[in-house]
Amino acid sequence: MSKKQHIVVVGNGMVGHHFVEQLSQSANAEQFEITVLSAEPRLAYDRVHLSEFFAGKSADDLAMTSMDLYQQWQVNFRINAKVDTIDRQGKTLTTQTGEVFSYDKLVLATGSYPFVPPIKGNDNPDCLVYRTIEDLQAISHCASKSKVGVVVGGGLLGLEAANALHHLGLQTHVVEFAPQLMAVQIDKPGGDILRQKIESLGVQVHTNRATTQIVAGDSCRHKLCFSDGEELETDLILFSAGIRPYDQLARQSELDVGERGGIVVNNQCQTSDENIYAIGECALWNNFIFGLVAPGNTMAKVAAEHLQGQSASFTGADMSTKLKLMGVDVGSIGDAHGKTPGSLTYRYEDQVNGVYKAMIVDSEQKKLLGAVLIGDTSEYDSLLQYMLNGIDLPAQPESLILPSNSDKPLLGADALPDTATICSCHNVTKADVITAIDEGAVTLDFIKSCTKASTGCGGCVALLKDVSSNELSCRGVEVKKDICEHFPYSRRELFDLIKIEKITNFNDLMAAHGSGLGCDICKPTAASIFASVWNEYILDKKHQPLQDTNDTFLANMQKDGTYSVVPRIPGGEITPDKLIVIGEVAKQYNLYTKITGGQRIDLFGARKEELPEIWRRLVDAGFETGHAYGKSVRTVKSCVGSTWCRFGVQDSVSMALFIEDRYKGIRSPHKLKFAVSGCTRECAEAQSKDIGVIATENGWNLYVCGNGGMKPRHADLFATDLDDETLIKYIDRVLMFYIETADRLQRTSVWMNNMEGGLEYLQDVVINDSLGLATYLEQHMDSIVGTYQCEWKTTLEDPKALERFKPFVNSDKPDSNIQFVEERGQIRPARPEEKTIAIVVQD
């Protein structure tokens, strides 16, 4: 048996991990013994989504691998193993702890480090960088004792860092040396629009500013002093002024490095030592450092294939990118600055809505060379394919970026050549997708698992779905949208069957159109449809078995097994008497109390058996359920409007109360949130909601299909200057069209984006009544509104329904595992180490 070749990989970032995956999972894996040395205290994690750490994701959530998986792959690994020296002659390397490893081939995947400008005072304890999970933990700690934060650097990473500080509640500033934001990726007009949109979100931008020193502040802990004499006070300083290749090991071992840094590599990613490879952000290819994950993954694949004797080459990579910065869509494609000789530019700018689009074409207007998209990236995928594949532009190229153009040429899956890149993160082409289908992959999930497409940043999922569905359909394969194994129908088809055939319960639905007993997918989906169509009491005997835990107990279950109580507070308006009742209830039942972002009050820590009496007290005081537990209309946030505010132009509170009263309790495929702002200052944040209403001098502007959450999306302007009646009519139609046609658990934003024609199509259906559904949609809404009931009030009047709130079926004793400790004057769930062991004494 031949001796295995020992491969040592220094660095376990995303690119280093991708190399390990490529080699260890290859057909020739048994030829290699792989050792991974990670300088960090953990194995590879997803840096692309690092900012989601501040949205509640843990280090485990971001992990790309685990010790168990590497052991399964027979990969040796060390964490906290920073390499100190390389002995090229002896083919060994030594870590800072003195551990020595030998290699046959060495792969340097050391990545990059944040550049900290040489500013006097930059070593202050409150001067931080944004690169690792440990960095983020330090930022969170510092932010907890800060009020103001400054990010030095207005590039892509700088704006992500600013978003993090903004979400941590700091007054946030961005300081950029260049005259615009994201100067590398977008042109000057695009930079101006981006700045306008970011400042409208509450982040102040300072461009053309060079920081000379950092000194003690007066009102804050520190002060930035600029070369123009201006100053900026801050508590926290976050440097995000670019990256530098981590090439110290290469320099120490006398490998060739570039004049400005980076380990020089050839097309096979080999350094000046043929036994040493370099991949990712530490590698310098053709005098260029690639600072994105996708090119690094391509390098990793090339190096892995070359080690196996294959003729792979790295020949550069496209640096186009699409992202969302602080909720602002930004796209940059190819030659975004029009530097190509003879190039021409088409521009579209909408300053009112913060949308900017530019297309750079060749001198004959036949080929796309580059593009910039700010505020709306809906054309990104098509434009990228035009550029990457040299596809001829239509006769009127400007039609590709002009809004509301029904004749806009759509670049379908058929038009893409087999070489078209579908997923840039993993370099998956259309041909790779076709090959996966050839080999038996007949579902989208199967294709994802075979090709890895859309498992990186996830930005290509829509294009992947189009290409795979088109290819399967062309082969005569039915592209199923079955909701689950028990029903050969999509949610939309089930909705139509239930409504048209007047089916009112799950047993009849199963008997007529399903098979088996049902599952935790089809049962809650059917329950939601029954509620949307017939609006009966959800805990009725025929509906109760279909509900999930939250709907069963009309409350959100929390991590410790207790429940939250959320009474409806329409528009955030509440009387002192009702406030007193909430306080008395919270005090009586020792509940943790918190004001939510939707202008309501959450009461946490209620035991299941306490819920009926808590709600009896609240219902008697005039409260209704807030439906915080359901996939339904949740909140309608509002400012104080023209009644109190000197800037308000309409009575936003009255409108918010009317809207919440009209749509309260309506069941839908996903939760729904609304807001009404009394002027364009937008204090109610209506543009981040499923339905947003903003007052104008002439009426109301309606925004639709926005959302917060893990993937925030700004709502789109749907119609302007509407009177009250027309506004409600349009909302009725949009909501009912969504409820009837959306997929299971599909947000309004995804629903609209997945419709052919998107916003323009929805406007045509709702405003122009292109499908002739307007009257039907309004009548359906009226029927649901007319049958509203407070589910808790109904439950309190039903002794049978109250029986399910016993803590145990066979005992009235409370659950002893639920324990609390006091923190900041209120309760919180006890951690495992804080719980006292319950001792049961038996007679």
Strand partners, 277: 107, 270
As a residue count, the chain comes to 843
| 450 labeled part of a ligand binding site | no
Token pair 């153009």 in the structure block, residue: 405
- Of 95, 125, 115, give the one whose Cα is nearest residue 11: 95
Q: Helix, strand, or coil here: 667?
A: strand
Which is it for strands 171-175 and 204-206: parallel, antiparallel or unpaired? parallel
Q: Are the beta carbons of 127 and 29 closer than 8 angstroms?
A: no
* Per-position b or e across 784-817, b if 16+ CB within 10 A of its CB: bbeeeebbbbbbbeeeebeeebebeeeeeeebee
- 620, with CB counted inside 10 A (0-12, 13-18, 19+), is exposed
Q: Can you give the three-state secondary structure of 504-529, one letter per residue?
A: CCHHHHHHHHCCCCCCCCHHHHHHHH
Q: How far apart are CA 241 and CA 183, in angstroms?
A: 12
Q: How far apart are CA 104 and CA 33, in angstroms?
A: 10
- 768, with CB counted inside 10 A (0-12, 13-18, 19+), is exposed
Q: How far apart are CA 706 and CA 689, in angstroms?
A: 5
Q: How far apart are CA 30 and CA 18, in angstroms?
A: 18
Residues contacting residue 755 through CB under 8 Å, at least 6 positions apart: 761, 762
Please count the other Cβ atoms lying within 10 Å of the Cβ belonging to residue 774: 20
Q: Tell me phi and psi for residue 350, to 5 degrees.
A: -125, 90
Q: How far apart are CA 324 and CA 347, in angstroms?
A: 21
The structure tokens listed for 321 are: 């990118």
What does the CA dihedral 187, 189, 195, 201 come to, rounded to 10 degrees? -120
Q: Are the beta carbons of 345 and 358 closer than 8 angstroms?
A: yes
Q: How far apart are CA 19 and CA 280, in angstroms?
A: 10
Q: How far apart are CA 458 and CA 710, in angstroms?
A: 13
- Of 159, 158, 144, 156, give the one whose Cα is nearest residue 236: 144
Q: Are the beta carbons of 549 and 772 closer than 8 angstroms?
A: no
- Which parts of 214-346 fold into alpha helices (H)? 248-252, 293-307
Which is it for strands 148-152 and 236-239: parallel, antiparallel or unpaired? parallel
| 484 labeled part of a ligand binding site | no
Radius of gyration of the chain (CA): 29
H helix or E strand, kind and range, residue 384: helix 380-388
Q: Are the beta carbons of 222 and 233 closer than 8 angstroms?
A: yes
| 639 labeled part of a ligand binding site | yes
Q: How far apart are CA 36 and CA 76, in angstroms?
A: 6
Q: How far apart are CA 468 and CA 158, in angstroms?
A: 36
- Of 645, 488, 646, 623, give the one whose Cα is nearest residue 567: 623
Q: How far apart are CA 660 and CA 656, in angstroms?
A: 6
**CA end-to-end distance (rounded Å), the chain:** 69
| 679 labeled part of a ligand binding site | yes
What distances in angstroms separate CA 343 from CA 331, 338, 383, one per listed residue? 19, 6, 16
The structure tokens listed for 727 are: 């506004």
Q: Are the beta carbons of 618 and 586 closer than 8 angstroms?
A: no
Cite the annotated binding site for siroheme by residue number. 683
Cite the annotated binding site for [4Fe-4S] cluster by residue number. 639, 645, 679, 683
Cite the annotated binding site by residue number. 639, 645, 679, 683
